[in-house]
Amino acid sequence: MKLCRFNGGRLGVVRAEGIVDVTPVLERLPAQRYPLPRHDLLIAHLPALRPAIEEAAAVGERFNPAQVHYDPPVANPGKIIGAPINYQAHAQESASDANIGHGRAITSIGDWGLFLKAGSALIGVGSAITLRFPERRNDHEIELAVVIGSRCHQVAAADALRHVAGYATALDMTLRGTEFQCFRKSIDSYAVVGPWLVTADEVPDPGALDLWLTVNGEPRQRANTRQLIYDVPRLIEFASAFYTLEPGDIIMTGTPEGVGPVRPGDLIEAGVQGLGDLAMRVAPRYA
């Protein structure tokens, strides 16, 4: 199942015939009272809601996928987790280009650990990426995003994939510089996810997906997730050794080689195999 959020709070199922509005299903989510859970309510209840979503999709209004405004497929991720230097060729380009590495010792993801991106950075592909700091380099990073489906802590890699709700195409937009990643990568609009979430049952092997990105039609990044240093199960094991993972948490799994700057007005086109493509214009002005 492919699920999207669109046009300001609507829930859709992505089908060959278009996007089918299944928003009434959201009324089945349990009412919440303070204090609210840290997890995403829809993702937490998705397995139970799937039959109702299928029923609603049989009668829902259809929308043209090219004409809706896409919101992030996960509304309220408790955490957006990033994976640094998780493709060998990207680690090499980071070590050899001072404008990427900024003097940091490029060692390994095991040494560096993971980082968090602020939830306020999250946008869907219908919104604009708005750059900050025009005198500095702002890079694109195409990544496979993993959406956690069930609460877990200290999970073994062998058990990890059963905690995945689904996958999505993502951009880990990055201001280059000397500050911590959690600061530079958390600017508003620097966490792009979408256009939609593809549930895990439709992605038998997250370790064999092509991913690609172009800027103004020029090829920049092309790789396959089999080149991940820490693959998806290992990343979940690694993250859950430190954090409790909760439904809706997003893990951006790292970017392959070919990162490079974008400027206001550029057109970024990108995708991950089977997960949907995006085409986003960088806002014409710096924020």
Residues contributing to the site for Mn ion (CB under 5 A): 141, 172, 255
Q: Which residue is nearest to Mn ion (CB)?
A: 172
Indicate the residue among 60 and 271 with the shorter CB distance to Mn ion.
271
Which residue type sits at 175?
L
Least Å distance, CB 252 to Mn ion, is 6
Question: Closer to Mn ion at the Cβ: 80 or 198?
Answer: 80
Beta carbons of 114 and 143 less than 8 angstroms apart = no
Bridge partner residues of 88 (DSSP): none
DSSP per residue over 13-28, as a string?
Answer: EEETTEEEE-GGGGGG
- Residue 8, by phi and psi: left (phi above 0), alpha (psi -120 to 50) or beta? left
The residue among 57, 144, 129, 115 whose CA lies nearest residue 239 is: 115
**Residue whose CB is less far from Mn ion, 13 or 280:** 280
CB of 276 to Mn ion, least distance (A): 19
Compute the least distance from the CB of residue 256 to Mn ion, in Å: 10
Nearer to Mn ion (CB atom), residue 141 or residue 231: 141
Q: Which is nearer to Mn ion, 40 or 172 (CB)?
A: 172
Q: What type of residue sits at position 267?
A: L
| Residue 163, C-beta contacts closer than 8 angstroms, at least 6 positions apart | 148, 149, 150, 152, 155, 236, 245
Q: How far is the CB of 23 from Mn ion (least distance, A)?
A: 33
* Smallest distance from Mn ion to CB 181, Å: 8
Q: Which two tokens stand for residue 53?
A: 């979503």
